[in-house]
Chains A and B, each alone.
Chain A
Amino acid sequence: DIVMTQSPDSLAVSLGERATINCKSSQSVLYSSNNKNYLSWYQQKPGQPPKLLISWASTRESGVPDRFSGSGSGTDFTLTISSLQAEDVAVYYCQQYYTNPRTFGQGTKLEIK
């Protein structure tokens, strides 16, 4: 199985400041034939299901604010929130869909400092 490891486990950032969450996979999730990274990011608020933010490591979903961005390739990925808003308080997860079993990171809890 591909192990997804996120860092940090929790993060406190001031409103308007940048938040950075890292995700590392135990093996590459870059598919060489199409040069795509099979990596997605989700946001989960209390009492709600996860919500897809980013697919293919860096493609923002429709309706997701442009302060959210994804980057990275191969085994190392980053989710960045450029200017933290109060509504961004949530747990964030990365997931690989490169191979089965699909696996998730353990989550990063983002709070306001």
Chain B
Amino acid sequence: QVQLQESGPGLVKPSETLSLTCTVSSGSVISFYWSWIRQTPGKGLEWIGYIYYSGSTNYNPSLTSRVTISVDTAKNQISLKLTSVTATDTGVYYCTRHEGGGYNAYWGQGTPVTVSS
């Protein structure tokens, strides 16, 4: 079964850029859609955006000015960059793989991120 593992700094300073990586094992990024979803105290579960293995993306309009999602098929990884972070970006960040029409069939364990100076 495919496994997803998020990684990245657990602490980011306000106004800086949050950078996370999702490494896929026991499967390939090819032919699938991949999402980043976060869980914050303020908004609960929030979809950040998704990417197709070809590189096409779709972002949440509430975050689109600050978000970039990319895919590296050679490394079997999906990446997330979120710029100009504030305390409201504190939460647990998950990567997921879509199935069917776009439901989140597989989830990573999540990585906690705190925005603080």
Q: Which residues of A contact B (CB under 8 A)?
A: 36, 38, 40, 42, 48-52, 55-56, 61, 93, 95, 97, 100-104, 106-107
B residues within 8 Å of A by Cβ?
35, 44-47, 58, 60-62, 94, 99-105, 107-110
CA distance A93 to B104 in the complex (A): 12
B105 x A50 contact (CB < 8 A): no
CB distance from B71 to the nearest CB of A (A): 18
Which of B46, B100, B104, B108 makes the CB contact (< 8 A) with A56? B100
Q: Is the CB of B58 within 8 A of A97?
A: no
Q: Which of B47, B58, B60, B101 contacts A38 (CB 8 A)?
A: B101
- B6 → chain A closest CB, angstroms: 10
Chain B interface, DSSP helix/strand/loop, else mixed: strand
Asked whether A101 lies within 8 Å of B61 as measured between CB atoms, the reply is: yes
- If A101-B47, A104-B47 touch, whether A40 touches B58 (CB-CB below 8 Å) is no
Minimum Cβ distance to chain A for residue B24 (Å):
15
Q: How far is the CB of A41 from chain B (nearest CB, A)?
A: 9
B44 touches A107 (CB 8 A): yes
Q: Name the residue of chain A whose CB is nearest to the CB of B62.
A: A101
With a CB–CB cut-off of 8 A, which chain B residues contact A49?
94, 107-110
Write out the residue numbers on chain A whose beta carbons fall within 8 Å of the beta carbon of B109: 48-49
Residue from A55, A102, A103 in contact with B100 in the complex, judged by beta carbons closer than 8 Å: A55
Known contacts A36-B101, A55-B99, A55-B103; A104 and B61 CB within 8 A of each other:
no
Q: How far is the CA of A95 from the CA of B101 in the complex (A)?
A: 12
Q: Decide if B60 touches A50 in the complex (CB within 8 Å).
A: no
- Pick from A52, A102, A103 the residue with the most CB of B within 10 Å: A102
Residue of B nearest to A37 (CB): B101
